[in-house]
Amino acid sequence: MVGMNKKKSKKVNLLKDQMFLTKKYVDMNDPIYDSEIEDENCFYTVVNAEEIEYSQKVCDMKNKMFEDVNILSFEEFEKKCDLLIDNFFLSNNIQEFIEDIKTLNVKIYNDYLVLQLIRKSFDKDDESQMNVSCLLNILNITKLITPEQVQRAFEKILLSLDDIKLDCPLCYDIFLKYLRFSILDNIIDKNYIFKLPTAFFDTLGIFNVSEKELRENVLKEKELLMKHTLHEEETGEQKQVTNVKEYYADDKNTNDKNNDNIIDTTKVNGDTNSSINENYNNNDNNNNNSTTTTNNNNNNYYYDIYQHNIELADEKKKLKDEIWNDTLLWVLDLNIKKVEDEKKEFKKKSRDFLIDFFNDGDTNEVIEFLNNSNNLFYHEFIRISIIESFSKNNICRKYISYLLDNLCEKYVSKTDIVIAFIRIIGYIDDYEIDFPQAKEMTCKFLLRCIYDDVLYPAFLSDIYKLHIGGVTGMMICNKTQQRIIDKEIEFK
C-alpha cells in the first residue's frame, strides 16, 4: 500500500510539472515513449521545448560563426596591428594597409587600431601625420571603423596627453589638428570638440591668442603666397621667351657658319698643317680645363641639392604654420571661449542643484533643470552626479542609478553617459585620494548601468583593452565583469 502511494505521488508531481510548461514533451529516447498504456514499465521525462529550441539555435549560430570567420584573440590582433602600423609609416601605402586590415577581419578591436595610429604618429613628421588623417577618413568611409571607436580612442589619448607631452611637447597641437580633420571629414560628431575637458584648452593656451593678430598674419601669408606664385609664373614665361630667342640666335649663327665654311674652304685646306700642330698644343690645355670643369660641376651639383633641401624645409614649415593657423582660426570661429565659460557656470550650477536633489531624489526636477540648460554639457552633469554621490549614503547613490535609467535615451544620449564613465574611470586614482571607496562604488554603478541597459554590454571589454584608468581601471572592469558572471550563475 505504501509503494502504491509513492507511485501515485510521483505521478501527481509529474503532472503538476507538466501543467506549468507551455509544451509537453516525453523522452523521445524511450523506445515506448508513444505508448498509450501507462504502466510501471513506462518511464518518461518532462523537458522544456522552448529551452531546447533556443539552445540549439544558439549552438548552430556559434558553429556557423566559427566556421565562417577565423576570430583572432585581442593579443594576436595587438601584435599584428602594431606590425602593420610600423610598416605603414615606412611605406605610406594606404591601399595596402586597408587591405591588410580587411584581412584581419576583426572590426571590434579597431578602436585600438585608431589609438595606436595616432599615438605612434606623435613622433613622426608632418607628412606622416597627414597620411594618418587621410587613412582615418578612408577607414571611416569603408566602414572599418565607427565614430564610437574613434571617440573612445580620442578619450584615451586625452587622458594620456600629459604623459605623452614629456616625449612630444607639441602633442596637444597635433591632437587638436587630428580632431579638426576628423570633424571636417565627418568621422566623429561635430559637437565633440565642445565636450573636451576644460583643462585641454587651458593647457593649449588657445584663449591667449589674439584673434585679430592671427587673422592679420594669415592674410599676410596668403598675400605673400600669391605674390610668390605670380612671380614664379612670370619667371617661367620669361625663361620661355629667352629660350625661344636663344633658339633663333643659334639657328642664325649656324647658317652664318655654314656660309663661311663654303667661302673659306680653300683657305682652310691651305692651313691644315698649322691647324694640326695647334690641336696638339691645345689637347693638354683642354684636359686640364676639363678636370677643373668636372670639379666645378660637382660642387654646383651638391650646392643645388643643399639649396633644394633648404627650400623644401622652408616650404614644409610654411605649410605646417599655415595648417596650424587655420586650425586656430577654426577653433576661434566656433566661439569655443564663450562655450567654455558657459560650461564652467553650468558645472557650478549642477553642484548646487544636486544638493537639493539628494534630499528628495525628484527626477522631474532634474529633467526641468536639464531642459533649461545647454545639451552640450549633459555629460558633465552625469559625471558630476556620480562623483558627488561618492560622499553620500547608499540611498543617494540609488537616486543616481534610478536617475540614469530614467534619463538614458529620453533626455541624455548614451554617448554622453559613456563619456562621463570613461572620464571617471580615467581619473579614478585621483578620486580615490578623496573617496577611498571610489573604486568599489564605481563597480556598483557600472553593474547597475549594464543591467539597466544604460551602458552597452561590451563597455567593460572596450575600456579594458584600451587600458583606460591604467591598472586600477582594468581592476574595476575585471571586478564588475566577475560580478555579472556570478549573478548569471545565481539566476540559473
Inside any domain, residue 349? yes
For residue 20, what pLDDT is reported?
47
Is the pLDDT assigned to residue 46 strictly greater than 70? no
Residue 270 grid coordinates: 691651305
Cell of 120: 605612434
- Note the pTM of the prediction, 2 decimals: 0.71
Q: What mean pLDDT comes out for the span 398-413?
A: 95
| CA separation for the pair 128, 94 (Å, rounded) | 11
Same domain, 471 and 370: yes
Residue pLDDT, tens place only, 432-483: 999 999 999 999 999 999 999 999 989 999 999 999 999 999 999 999 999 9
* The three three-digit cell numbers of residue 475, written as one number: 581592476
- 96 and 141: one domain? yes
φ, ψ for residue 412 (rounded to 5)? -125, 135
Asked if residue 191 and residue 82 are part of one domain, the reply reads yes
Cα(121)–Cα(85) distance, integer angstroms: 10
- Inside any domain, residue 267: no
Which CATH number characterizes residue 143's domain? 1.25.40.180
Is residue 222 one of the residues assigned to a domain?
yes
CA distance 27 to 44: 5
Q: What string of H, E and C letters represents the secondary structure of the chain?
A: CHHHHHHHHHHHHHHHHHHCCCCCECCCCCCCCCCCCCCCCCCCCCECHHHHHHHHHHHHHHHHHHHHCCCCCHHHHHHHHHHHHHHHHHHCCHHHHHHHHHHHCCHHHHHHHHHHHHHHHCCCCHHHHHHHHHHHHHHHHCCCCCHHHHHHHHHHHHHHHHHHCCCCCCHHHHHHHHHHHHHHCCCCCHHHHHHCCHHHHHHHCHHHCCHHHHHHHHHHHHHHHHHHHHHHHHHHHHHHHHHHHHHHHHHHHHHHHHHHHHHCHHHHHHCHHHHHHHHHHHHHHHHHHHHHHHHHHHHHHHHHHHHHHHHHHHHHHHHHHHHHHHHHHHHHHCCHHHHHHHHHHHHHHHHHHHHHHHHHCCHHHHHHHHHCCCHHHHHHHHHHHHHHHCCCCHHHHHHHHHHHHHHECCCECHHHHHHHHHHHHHCHHHHHHHCCCHHHHHHHHHHHHHHCCCCCCCHHHHHHHCCCCHHHHHHHHHHHHHHHHHHHHHHC
pLDDT at 266: 43
The string of pLDDT tens digits covering residues 96-129 is 999 999 999 999 999 999 999 999 999 999 999 9
- Pair (16, 105) in one structural domain: no
Report pLDDT digits (tens) over 121-170.
999 999 999 999 999 999 999 999 999 999 999 999 999 999 999 999 99
**Is 448 in the same domain as 341?**
yes
In-domain check, residue 275: no
Would you say residue 315 lies in a domain? no
Q: What is the pLDDT of residue 438?
A: 96
- Asked whether residue 428 falls in the same domain as residue 485, the answer is yes
Share of the chain above pLDDT 70, in %: 65
85 compared with 31, residue with greater pLDDT: 85
Looking at 333, 363, 398, the residue that finishes a domain is 333
Helix 272-333 × helix 126-141 angle, to 10°: 60
Same-domain pairing of 235 and 374? no
| Same domain, yes or no: 59 and 122 | no
Q: Per the domain annotation, does 88 fall within a domain? A: yes
Range of the domain at 147: 74-208
What's the number of CA atoms in the CB half-sphere (13 Å) around residue 95? 0
What does the alpha-carbon distance between residue 196 and residue 190 come to, in Å, rounded to a whole number? 12
pLDDT of residue 21: 46
487 CB neighbour count, 10 Å cutoff: 12
The mean pLDDT of 221-248, rounded to a whole number, is: 60
Quickly state the pLDDT bin for 234 (edges 50, 70, 90): low
| Burial classification of residue 115, based on how many CB atoms lie within 10 Å of its CB (0-12 exposed, 13-18 middle, 19 or more buried) | buried
Q: Is the dihedral of CA 327, 427, 357, 379 positive or negative?
A: positive
**Looking at per-residue confidence, does 21 or 414 come out higher?**
414
423 and 386 part of one domain: yes
Question: How far apart are alpha carbons 478 and 116 in whole angstroms?
Answer: 23
The stretch 259-286 carries a mean pLDDT of 48
Residues 106 and 238 occupy one common structural domain: no
In percent, the amount of the chain with pLDDT more than 90 equals 57
**Cα pseudo-dihedral 144, 146, 152, 158, rounded to 10:** 80
Q: What pLDDT band is residue 415 in, cutting at 50, 70 and 90?
A: very high
Examine the domain organization and report whether 347 and 465 are in the same domain. Answer: yes
Instruction: Give the pLDDT of residue 224.
Output: 66
Residue 116 buriedness (CB in 10 A; 0-12 / 13-18 / 19+) = middle
The pLDDT assigned to 188 comes to: 96
pLDDT value at residue 62 = 46
pLDDT given for residue 72 in this prediction: 85
Q: Classify residue 293: in a domain, yes or no.
A: no
Find the mean pLDDT for residues 200-211.
85
In angstroms, rounded to a whole number, what is the distance separating the alpha carbons of residues 249 and 83?
Answer: 61
Q: What is the pLDDT of residue 486?
A: 87
**Higher-confidence residue: 408 or 284?**
408
Q: In terms of domains, do 344 and 364 share one?
A: yes
**What is the average pLDDT value for the chain, to the nearest integer?**
80
Q: Which of 175, 187, 180 is nearest to 151 (CA)?
A: 187
How many domains, in total, are found in the chain? Answer: 4
Amino acid at the residue 318: K
The domain boundary, picked from 208, 223, 246, lies at 208
Separation of alpha carbons 178 and 365, rounded Å: 39
Cβ neighbours of 357 (radius 10 Å):
21
Answer whether residue 295 is part of any domain: no
Residue 248 CA: distances (Å) to CA of 168, 252, 257, 258, 259: 59, 6, 14, 15, 17
